[in-house]
Amino acid sequence: MRKRWQIACYIDRNDRRPVVEYMFDDKNEKDFVVMIAVIQRLSRVGTDLVDTDMSKHIEGPIFELRKDRHRIFYAEDKNNSRFVLLSAFLKETQKTPPEKIQEAQDNWRDYLKTGNCEVFEIPYEDF
């Protein structure tokens, strides 16, 4: 059985879960399964996913999961052997808006201070 990376969702100081809220928003309902598949792939292949059509390095510790126009920012928490999903948005322009990158960086800094997250249980099959 291959190693599986743990996926966690950041929880902010107001007990909000930005990525979970994005994924469960009614307007994203038809793409929910696709987003889960990309997260599942990150769990299976980890950093090997970077520099593929599904993931790229953005800036500093921040990476981006990509599927169609959906973007989920994440970072690797090496101390806890997990990837932390930080924020998500629907990309509407060619270039990623700087404020979206800043939001992910702010969430990462807050996560490092507080450790607030919950493990994101996703279906997994070992092929």
The CATH classification of domain 6-119, taken from the options 3.40.50, 3.30.310, 3.30.2310, 3.30.390: 3.30.2310
- 120, 39 in Cβ contact below 8 A? yes
From 1-10, 74-83, 100-109, 112-121, the region with the lowest mean pLDDT: 1-10
pLDDT band at 123 (very low <50, low <70, confident <90, very high): low
Spans of all domains in the chain: 6-119
At 27-43, the pLDDT tens digits run: 888 888 888 889 999 99
